[in-house]
Each structure stands twice: as structure tokens, then as C-alpha cells.
Structure 1
Amino acid sequence: MKKGVFMFSVRLMFLCIFINGSLSKLERLEHPVTKPDGSLNILVVGDWGREGEFNQSVVAHQMGMVGEQLDIDFVISVGDNFYDDGLKGDNDPSFEASFSHIYTHPSLKKQWYSVLGNHDYRGNVSAQLSKVLTQKDWRWFCRRSFVLCSGMVEFFFVDTNPFVDKYFTDPKDHTYDWSDVLPRNNYISNLLDDLDLGLKRSRATWKIIVGHHGIKTAGDHGVTQELVDQLLPILEENKVDLYINGHDHCLQHIGSDGEIQFLTSGGGSKAWRGNIQPWDPKELKLYYDGQGFMSLHISHSQAKFIYYDVSGNVLHQSSLSKN
């Protein structure tokens, strides 16, 4: 999507609010639907920002190839955008070195919608949210939490970092930038209320949640229990279709028929942790301990997701259908 089209989409934000009737305080954006049948093609990548190292550049190249084949509409980043400690400021050269100079394929010259990961919170969070970065590279859009409307789909981007207790209580853990988050309990309560209200008011055919931390994952980090306790009940009550995350540096699909599908796409660069948590094989449809990314194809009747490895080979594909 070209810059002018994106600016037009921002102006349509209020139309999205009017149509869906939401009174949530979450910022809402509209991404125009350009395909005649109203479908969307999207790439999803996470845990990538290493200035091209650990195969980040190779994954980026394959994303470009697949993005061209699919004629993608935009890209979703599920966090840990800049390693190891986020950005120092909005003039940090790591932004160009890890983003602008890496994702150069013409098919990736589309809007990128991003959430923050725990490594991003170890730096200057406001830098990643700054309009200065958008001026440097118009593709960049990052917020703590927001709603993206695109035709029959609503994506709810959720800041999962403040939910994790150990970031606040473990003295051996890193220092995090909690500016505009404290008091923590108020932040989480308001976010959950806004999310619940937004989901209840949504008239979208598909409701998809995007966060950084895993709710169901067999990866190295394991299940984020705070999200299981506080976020998952809201997703189940409001019949969310997909929960998409990163954090674990792998690719995985966990789900049962008729329930939320949990999709991890954290293979943007450094991976190969070499271990897997025990999980019910009936639910664990894919676990790939390596680098890669995911595509998402959404029509009115079907949401199809495909996982690709670092060489562009298809590892797994599955879909959900609606009448």
C-alpha cells in the first residue's frame, strides 16, 4: 500500500468506529480493502530485529518472494522488533539497520502493523511509538494496543508485556521502560475492559487477536499463565477466531476444532532453541523449532494460514471455515 493510501485509511478511522459502534478507548484504524472479492493476504513475522544476522536477511528475502506471489495487503509484526534492548531513541540507527535496510523487497513495501515485545520494553518504548520513525520509513506503525479494521476482519493488537509478573518482581530480570504503564493494575484493567467492549461491539466476520506472548505454546518460554488467567476468558467469551503471537522463536499451531486457534510466528531471526514442552499431540498441529514466517489468507468464508521455513518451503497449512 502506498503512503497516500495509508493516510487516506487513517482518515477513515472514524467511519470504522461508526460502522462497528464501539465505544472502546482503543485507537482504531481502517486499512482499505483493495481486492474485488474483499479478501486479505497478510504476512506475519516476529522476533526479528538483529540487523540482518541470524538469518534475518534470509527470512526477509523469502518473505518478499511469498509476498509477491500472494500480493499481500500488509505485514503484521508480533513484537521483539529490535534486539537485544529495543531502541535507545527515535534516532537509533538500529531502526534502519534492522528494518528499513532488511525488508527491501518491493512486495514488502506495504504497511507494517506492530506490537511491542519484552525486548522492546528494555529500551525506549516511546521511540518505537514515535512519528519520527514513520517519517523515516512510512511503513512503520507501532502502538501498545489498537484495533485495525479491514473489511470483514478486525485485528485487536494487545500489549501483553505488563501482564507478565516476573518483569516486575524478578530482581535478576532486565530493566523495563514502564512509562505510561504504571500503575500496572489500572493499565491492565483498562486494557481488558476496552478489549472486552471492543469485541462485544464488533460486527466483524473474523475477530483476531495479536499479541507478543503465548497463551498456548509448547515453546521454550512456555505458557504465559497471566494471560491464561486474565486474557483468555475474554477471548473465549467473545468467540475470537485466532490468537497470533511471537516470543517463542519457533513456528507452531495449537488448536482443536471449534475453538480458538493459537498461532506462533516467532521465527524472524534467531531460533533453534532445541527443546519442546510436552503438549497434547491432538492439539499440536505444528511445532517447528526454526526460522520462518506465516501467511494469512482471509475471505468471507475461510481463514487459511500457511507456515514457511527459512528456505520458503511450506511446513504446514490449515484453515477455518464459516457459513
Structure 2
Amino acid sequence: MAIIPYKKSTTLCSFLFLFSFGLCLVTTFAGLRRFEHPTKEDGSMSFLVLGDWGRRGAFNQSQVAFQMGKVGEKLDIDFVVSTGDNFYDNGLSSEHDAAFEESFTKIYTQNSLQKQWYSILGNHDYRGDAEAQLSPLLRKIDNRWLCLRSFVVNAELAEIFFVDTTPFVNMYFTNTKDHTYDWRGVPSRKAYIQTLLKDVELALEKSSAKWKIVVGHHAIRSIGHHGDTQELIKHLLPILQANDVDFYMNGHDHCLEHISDNKSGLQFLTSGAGSKAWRGDMKNGEGLNKEGQVNFFYDGQGFMSVQLNPTQAEIEFYDVFGNVLHSWTASKQLLLLHPSI
């Protein structure tokens, strides 16, 4: 997969980073790298969302992958989104770690899954060599793989903003007795978070996409094991609410869930059930009475699909057997321009 180096003095065509899927990348004014991904000819798009999966096929990872392949073929998906915790328990040890192929390449083998995978880092990924997952070498081993800390995918119909949420969480910096984290890419936590929030806010403000989607590893709202992430409620949620974001998608809690925000049209969608799930581990959700509405919760393995067109979004959650557990549809008006009379 050849990459054309970026040079500020070159023409627009030289800004492109070319990938085997016809994908291109340019830099953006907001400081976030931006990938262009075309929609289908009819203007629609579809993709799968999976989180917390990399266990060399164990804990039903292979079974979930099989069902993803079937759904991916049925929906003719355009790409896959990974919400982080890509490799357990402690990320990759290096860019040569066999776990990459054993947990990714050799598991997601069906034809429909041979599409671009957009991935972000989770807290378990930061426990290993975080830089390894960002390495171009992995894209040479498997050209589906694309993992960055934060970036934007512009799919014409929708813009998807990937946000590196792990550095927001205080406990990873204050409780390091049991685990260490690879913070080489975060030399100054405060400056890193401030810059990221500014970049995300600016990109969202300037977005004219029909659908705005934000992806992070940690849940903003959840009744699963970890529950709400207070740091994201404080710093990220107000930005999403103010900029009419439609969906916030995450992993971290090993479950599937759908929660509606009471202060905006934002929907919180958790898909962190790619392998090991936490049966019966559920919070009572008392804190959501004023802030949100729980529409669906499932404590087993599975994944999520997203289908979009200019006027409608359809979200579906599947279990390890491919059964649809929950469906939800959102509609938008198609604005028509009428000539003045």
C-alpha cells in the first residue's frame, strides 16, 4: 500500500494518501487527519461497529466474526468501525506481535469483511505498545487496518469523528499499581486534551454532513460494568450536544446498549461485545432518570450495524447467533430548494 508523502508546497493532488480501497487522506484545518470514503452509487452507506474483541478467537470472538460476515454480506457494508480494546489483555507488544494476525487477520476472514477497518485505541491497547497499532507496518501485513488516535472519516453522507478518549480518564494516571500505560504520544496530558477538544469542536462546527457521528472507546452514558465516564460528560458531551451530533458510538463496557440523551437528539450506542461479555453485570441506571432514557441493554456477545441514507438511519444490534435484538430508526427531513416566485 503505497503512501505519497505530504508536502505543503505541492498541489492538491499531492496531498492524497492512497490506499488499496480507493481511500484518500488529506490534512484538515482542525488538526485532525481526514479520510475520504465514498458512498454507494445510490448515496447510501452501511457499516458494522465492533468493540473489545481481540482474543485470538476465544470467548466467542470467532462466532461473532462469523455472524458479522453474514450481516456484512447482506448489507453490502462499506467498512467496519472498531471502538477500541483491539488486542487483549495488554495491547500489542510490538508491531511484529503475532497477536495482530491471530486476533484480526485470521479471525475476520469472510469476503464481506475485507473492507477498510477504522480503529481507535482503547485503554487495554494503551497497556501495550500503543505506537505499534498506529504503525504503517501493520497496514502492510493487512491492508484493511487503519488505526489512529483521533481522525475524521468523511463519507459524504456522514462524517465520523474518532476521538481518543483514554487520556481523558483520570484513573489511568492516578491508579497505576496494577497496570502501566504507554503515554509516549501524550507528552502533556492537559495540552493533549485541550488541543483535541478544540480540534473536535472546530471540525463539528464546520461539518455540513447530513449525519454526524462521534466514535470513542469509553462510554459517555452506560448502565454496564463501567457506567458513565464522568470526564467525558464534563468535557466532551457539551460539545456533542451543541453541534447536533446524531450518534456517539463506543465500546469499553462489554455489552450492547442504546441510550437516548434527554437534552438533545444524541443517541449513545455501545458496541463492546466483540468477545468476552459480562453476564449480569449491570448498573441500575438511577443517574439516567433526568439525563437519558435506556432503550436497550444486552449483556452478551454481539455487534451493531448502521445503515444510512439522506433521510433515514437504521441501527440494529445482533447477538452471537445473528439474531436481531434491537432495531431503531431515525429520520431527517430532506431539504428541497424551491425557486423564488
Q: TM-score, normalised by structure 1?
A: 0.93
Retained in 1: the 8 A contact 2:121–2:149?
Answer: yes
Larger mean Cα displacement after TM superposition, 245-254 or 265-274: 265-274
Counterpart residue number, 2:255: 250
* Structure 2 residue corresponding to 1:135, chosen from 110, 124, 140: 140
Q: CA deviation at 1:5?
A: 6.5
Q: CA deviation at 1:105?
A: 0.5
* Structure 1 residue corresponding to 2:309, chosen from 299, 305, 319: 299
Counterpart residue number, 1:227: 232
Whole-angstrom distance in 2 between the partners of 1:262 and 1:136: 34
Q: Which runs of 4+ in 1 moved over 3 A?
A: 4-8
Counterpart residue number, 2:14: none
Whole-angstrom distance in 2 between the partners of 1:71 and 1:148: 19
For residues 90-135 of structure 1, the C-alpha deviation after alignment (integer angstroms, 9 at most, x for no partner) is: 1000000000000000100000000100000000011000010000
Aligned residues: 312
* Structure 2 residue corresponding to 1:176, chosen from 178, 181, 191: 181
Retained in 1: the 8 A contact 2:261–2:268?
Answer: no
1:8 aligns with 2:22: yes
For residues 228-282 of structure 1, the C-alpha deviation after alignment (integer angstroms, 9 at most, x for no partner) is: 0000011111111000000000000000575200000001000034221112588
Q: TM-score, normalised by structure 2?
A: 0.89
Whole-angstrom distance in 2 between the partners of 1:173 and 1:228: 26
Amino acid at match of 1:53: A
Within a 5 Å distance, the mapping from 1:45-194 to structure 2 comes to: 45-194=50-199
Note the residue ranges of structure 2 that are not aligned, 5 or more in a row: 1-17, 334-341
Whole-angstrom distance in 1 between the partners of 2:23 and 2:83: 22
Whole-angstrom distance in 2 between the partners of 1:123 and 1:190: 24
1:261 aligns with 2:267: yes
Q: For residues 299 and 315 of structure 1, do their structure 2 counterparts lie closer, same or farther at Cα, with a shift above 3 Å needed?
A: same
Counterpart residue number, 2:5: none
Note the residue ranges of structure 1 that are not aligned, 5 or more in a row: none
For residues 20-47 of structure 1, the C-alpha deviation after alignment (integer angstroms, 9 at most, x for no partner) is: xx520000000122x2221111000000
Q: For residues 7 and 66 of structure 1, do their structure 2 counterparts lie closer, same or farther at Cα, with a shift above 3 Å needed?
A: closer
Counterpart residue number, 1:308: 318
Amino acid at match of 2:331: S
Amino acid at match of 1:268: G
CA RMSD of aligned residues (A): 1.6
1:28 aligns with 2:65: no
Whole-angstrom distance in 1 between the partners of 2:185 and 2:41: 41
Q: For residues 7 and 113 of structure 1, do their structure 2 counterparts lie closer, same or farther at Cα, with a shift above 3 Å needed?
A: same
Retained in 2: the 8 A contact 1:122–1:175?
Answer: yes
Amino acid at match of 1:172: K
1:204 aligns with 2:214: no
Retained in 2: the 8 A contact 1:208–1:240?
Answer: yes
Whole-angstrom distance in 2 between the partners of 1:155 and 1:122: 26
Q: CA deviation at 1:220?
A: 0.2
Amino acid at match of 1:219: G
Amino acid at match of 2:38: P
Amino acid at match of 1:278: N
Whole-angstrom distance in 2 between the partners of 1:166 and 1:7: 38
For residues 302-323 of structure 1, the C-alpha deviation after alignment (integer angstroms, 9 at most, x for no partner) is: 1110000000000000021110
Amino acid at match of 2:189: R
Whole-angstrom distance in 1 between the partners of 2:19 and 2:308: 21
Other structure's SS at 2:146 match: strand
Amino acid at match of 1:8: G
Counterpart residue number, 1:277: 283
Other structure's SS at 1:119 match: helix
Whole-angstrom distance in 2 between the partners of 1:107 and 1:260: 30
Q: CA deviation at 1:8?
A: 3.5
Percent identity of equivalent pairs: 57
Retained in 2: the 8 A contact 1:249–1:273?
Answer: no
